[in-house]
Structure 1
């Protein structure tokens, strides 16, 4: 099964619905340890990759690069995608960051076929967790989830202007 579904910025039904994901890996799914070469071990290492990429692209522009808030958004999206892959996706199996004409393109692969979800919250209660995916949807210009045998890829485009 090789299906791709784009998730809209307005939080439209994320790839599959609430019964498909959130929380720990599905019963029987073990954390995946086969990573592509060069895949960061954690969110901090992934943020370092993105920081180096942004510095290499924009430091030569004498301050004309992305604003601090844009960089912070890019690093937050990176953190959330990688953390979710580690916590809920059976482990991070692939990671790529590149600058395109449209912005920062992040590709995060994990070992779970379960789709991320947005959990409806009661505004009157203080919930713990579950804020990462909605942040990604809000901060990224486009998000696509591609389901593959034995895992999935999530591609997020973060504008750098």
Structure 2
């Protein structure tokens, strides 16, 4: 198991962490799994910054066949799907993308906001 727990300063830095983390995986993962993991990271970190009052926690871990990431932010509000937003709103499609790509998704309230945990099968 390999893990990153540093708080990235941006979505780009988070992608760099995850890309490096995936390179240490005991068995190489496919290009699709890497791309999915990077898309998930981009969405979670960007949403934490844009809608969640800022990222307050970040943990990513890779095992032989699984990628897990937890992003915490300062807002208790859960992400919304496109149909849950007012007509004419801009954006709102990233959460749908995360849910479609992920093997598992959990949103948990915390004392300072919320924690979003996403799992992705690599094989």
TM-score by length of 1: 0.67
SS in 1 for 2:81: coil
Measured at CA, do residues 77 and 98 of structure 1 come closer, stay the same or move farther in structure 2, by a change above 3 Å?
A: same
1:70 Cα deviation from its structure 2 partner: 1.2
**Matched residue, 2:109:** 147
Which aligned segments of 4 or more residues in structure 1 are displaced greater than 3 angstroms? 125-128
Q: Partners in 1 of 2:82 and 2:8 — Cα distance?
A: 28
2:60 paired with 1:92: no
Number of residues paired by the alignment?
117
RMSD over equivalenced CA pairs, Å: 2.1
TM-score by length of 2: 0.86
**Matched residue, 1:136:** 98
Q: Partners in 1 of 2:16 and 2:119 — Cα distance?
A: 18
Unaligned runs of 5+ in 2: none
Measured at CA, do residues 92 and 70 of structure 1 come closer, stay the same or move farther in structure 2, by a change above 3 Å?
A: same
Q: Which has the higher helix share?
A: 2
Unaligned runs of 5+ in 1: 1-36
**Contact 2:25/2:63 (8 A) holds in 1:** no
Higher relative contact order (CA 8 A, sep 6+): 1
**Contact 2:66/2:122 (8 A) holds in 1:** yes
**Contact 2:59/2:69 (8 A) holds in 1:** yes
